[in-house]
Amino acid sequence: MNNNGTLIQKIFWSISGNEVWIIKDCPTAHKYYSRQGLLFVMTFFFAAFCGAFAGEDFGGSAIMTLLIGFIWGLLVYSIDQMMIQTIDKVYVDTISTKSKFLKYIFPRMFLGCLLAMFMSSPLDHYLFSGQIEHQRQKNADKEWMSYQNELNNAMDIEGTKNRQNNNQLSRENLSKLRSKNPTTIAFHDAITNYDIENPKLSQLARIRANSRAEMNQSWNRIPERYDEITNKSVKIIKTSEYETYLTKKRAYTNAITDYVRKEKEVNNYAKIMIEERQKYEKELNEKIQRQDTIIFKLTKKIENDNATVANDVNNKRKFLGEMQGFDTKFMTLLTHPNFGVQFLRWFIFLVFLLIEIIPTWMKIMGKPTEYDVKLDIIRKTRIKEFELIVKQDEQIADIKNRAEIQITKEKENQRQLVELDLHKKILDEILNKYENLSKSILQDWEDNIKLEQKLKYEKCPTSNNFIE
Quick one: pLDDT at residue 467? 39
Residue 224 sits at φ, ψ, to 5 deg, of -125, 160
pTM of the model: 0.48
List, for the chain, all residue ranges whose pLDDT scores fall below the cut of 70: 1-4, 57-60, 88-104, 322-326, 366, 457, 459-468
Write out pLDDT tens, residues 401-451. Answer: 887 888 888 888 888 888 888 888 888 888 787 777 777 888 878 777 878
Nearest to 346 by CA among 117, 129, 134, 135: 117
Quick one: pLDDT at residue 3? 65
Write out pLDDT tens, residues 124-148. Answer: 877 888 888 888 788 877 877 887 7
Label residues 186-214 b or e (16+ Cβ within 10 Å = b). Answer: ebeebbebbeebeeebeebeebbeebbeb
Report CA-CA distances (Å) from 265 to 187, 194, 197, 207, 232: 15, 8, 8, 17, 44
Amino acid symbol at 358: I
Mean pLDDT (the chain) is: 80
Write out pLDDT tens, residues 274-290. Answer: 888 888 888 888 888 88
Separation CA 323–CA 332 (nearest Å):
11
Write out pLDDT tens, residues 304-322. Answer: 888 887 888 788 777 777 6
Write out pLDDT tens, residues 191-207. Answer: 888 888 888 888 888 88
